[in-house]
């Protein structure tokens, strides 16, 4: 296999500077273990699962590999201490309609006690990570100083997810070790600034390694961001379409079939901006955006139908967070093979560029 290294590899004790993104509902123990085992950094997405489930996933990774693993936890600044459920009669019409459609398919929409996004929940998850000596904590939606200090107390490194230069400044001031700049191209929660611009902005002042994210699906793109100054790539959507990811075949097929313009960025997933594929889950809101409840109520209100549709892997009513790079993905492969291909393609692209571009100083 090709050699591809940056200083980030030494900092995180990994072989290749390719990090698999935390992805809710997608990235559990099997995916994280496969990526870490293959020499990248695997990440367990820990916003949605209960603390007990997180512990099981960490144990699974530890049973498969002794390589470092990352756990991604949400620290939104406006997080409620304990999110309150929304009564059925108070649900917006689009959610009631989605629920009726899901139920008509014989699928039960059960109440969900969704404590994800709550501060108490994040603290419990940090304690579990400490107990298992998790090597890297990714801070999603905010990087509070207490979380960085807690991670450092047991020797873990922190990664901060940011979508704006100002967020990166704050995360660095709060002591983070690594910043992931996620361009608007990315799947899941995402800002409105393109990766090429955001990366340059943050590189101007960053005193810690900067990793690029958003729309990265090919080695040529990774070569591009490394040349620009990134120390690594944080990759989400490409890893959805792997054998080890936890979503069903309909989700993966939707990505295979996606065109280059099938994603939208909207507030309907949870009241924060999320990029996802367009389908019935998004279209049901058309012309009725005034009924959106805002964060965190929207997440709580839509939770029962969203989780039921995801569990049943419904083609239409399921939320399908995915990045703009979806149109470049045409297969489902073992995660180790995806990593290997990305490393090889990146090396090839770096080689090809030095032959293709003539320059002198």
Ligand X SMILES: Cc1cc2nc3c(=O)[nH]c(=O)nc-3n(C[C@H](O)[C@H](O)[C@H](O)COP(=O)(O)O)c2cc1C
Write down the least CB distance from residue 316 to ligand X, Å. Answer: 17
Identify which of residues 70 and 102 has a Cβ nearer to ligand X in the complex: 70
| 325 binding ligand X? (CB under 6 A) | yes
- Cβ atoms 265, 323 nearer than 8 A: no
Write down the least CB distance from residue 132 to ligand X, Å. Answer: 19
Measured CA to CA, the distance from residue 135 to residue 129 in angstroms comes to: 9
DSSP 167-189: HHHHHHHTT-SEEEEE-TTSSEE
- Cβ atoms 323, 215 nearer than 8 A: yes
Number of residue whose CB is nearest ligand X: 236
Write down the least CB distance from residue 288 to ligand X, Å. Answer: 24
Q: Which stretch binds ligand X (CB under 6 A): 20-28, 31-39, 56-64, 201-209?
A: 20-28
**Which H helix or E strand runs over 298?**
helix 297-311
The residue within the footprint of ligand X, chosen from 34, 213, 223, 225 (CB under 6 A), is 213
Measured CA to CA, the distance from residue 299 to residue 293 in angstroms comes to: 9
| 40 binding ligand X? (CB under 6 A) | no
What does the block give as tokens for 85? 């459920």
Write down the least CB distance from residue 120 to ligand X, Å. Answer: 18
| 321 binding ligand X? (CB under 6 A) | yes
What does the block give as tokens for 64? 């498969």
Neighbour-count burial of 203, counting CB atoms closer than 10 A to its CB (0-12 exposed, 13-18 middle, 19+ buried): middle
Q: Which stretch binds ligand X (CB under 6 A): 212-220, 278-286, 308-316, 350-358?
A: 212-220
Residue whose structure tokens are 């939208």: 264
Write down the least CB distance from residue 361 to ligand X, Å. Answer: 34
Binding-site size for ligand X (CB under 6 A) equals 30
Identify which of residues 91 and 211 has a Cβ nearer to ligand X in the complex: 211
Write down the least CB distance from residue 357 to ligand X, Å. Answer: 26
Please name which of 197, 174, 171 lies closest in space to residue 184, comparing C-alpha atoms.
Answer: 197
Contacts for 45 with CB less than 8 Å, ≥ 6 apart: 22, 23, 24, 25, 26, 27, 28, 72
Identify which of residues 150 and 189 has a Cβ nearer to ligand X in the complex: 189
Restricted to residues 115-144, the positions that interact with ligand X (CB under 6 A) are: 138, 140
3-class DSSP state for residue 29?
helix
Binding mask 235-274 for ligand X (x = CB under 6 A): xxx--x----------------------------------
Identify which of residues 23 and 91 has a Cβ nearer to ligand X in the complex: 23
Measured CA to CA, the distance from residue 176 to residue 171 in angstroms comes to: 6
Restricted to residues 150-209, the positions that interact with ligand X (CB under 6 A) are: 161, 182, 185-189
> Site residues (CB under 6 A) for ligand X?
21-24, 26, 45, 47, 72, 138, 140, 161, 182, 185-189, 213-216, 234-237, 240, 321-323, 325
């Amino acid at each position: 296999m090709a050699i591809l290294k940056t200083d980030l590899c030494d900092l995180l004790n990994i072989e290749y500077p390719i990090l698999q993104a935390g992805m809710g509902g997608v990235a559990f123990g099997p995916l994280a273990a496969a990526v870490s085992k293959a020499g990248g950094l695997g990440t367990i997405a820990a916003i949605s699962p209960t603390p007990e489930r997180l512990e099981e996933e960490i144990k699974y990774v530890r049973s498969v590999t002794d390589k470092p693993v990352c756990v991604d936890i949400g620290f939104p600044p406006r997080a409620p201490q304990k999110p309150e459920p929304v009564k059925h009669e108070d649900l917006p019409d689009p959610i009631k309609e989605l629920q009726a459609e899901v139920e008509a398919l014989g699928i039960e929409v059960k109440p969900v006690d969704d404590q994800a996004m709550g501060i108490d929940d994040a603290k419990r998850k940090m304690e579990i990570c400490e107990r298992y000596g998790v090597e890297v904590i990714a801070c999603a939606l905010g990087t509070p100083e207490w979380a960085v200090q807690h991670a450092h107390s047991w020797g873990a490194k922190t990664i901060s997810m940011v979508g704006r230069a100002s967020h990166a400044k704050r995360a660095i001031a709060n002591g983070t070790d690594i910043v992931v700049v996620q361009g608007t191209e990315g799947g899941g929660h995402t800002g409105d600034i393109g990766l090429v611009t955001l990366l340059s902005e943050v590189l101007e002042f960053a005193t810690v390694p900067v990793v690029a994210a958003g729309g990265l699906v090919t080695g040529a793109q990774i070569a591009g961001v490394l040349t620009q100054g990134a120390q690594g790539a944080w990759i989400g959507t490409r890893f959805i379409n792997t054998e080890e990811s936890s979503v069903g075949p309909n989700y993966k097929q939707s990505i295979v079939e996606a065109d280059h313009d099938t994603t939208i960025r909207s507030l309907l997933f949870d009241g924060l901006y999320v990029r996802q594929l367009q389908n019935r889950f998004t279209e049901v809101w058309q012309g009725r955006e005034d009924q959106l409840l805002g964060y965190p109520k929207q997440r709580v209100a839509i939770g029962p139908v969203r989780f039921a549709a995801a569990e049943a892997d419904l083609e239409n009513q399921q939320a399908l967070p995915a990045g703009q790079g979806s149109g470049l993905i045409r297969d489902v492969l073992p995660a180790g093979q995806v990593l290997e291909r990305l490393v090889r393609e990146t090396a090839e692209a770096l080689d090809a560029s030095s032959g293709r571009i003539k320059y002198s100083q």
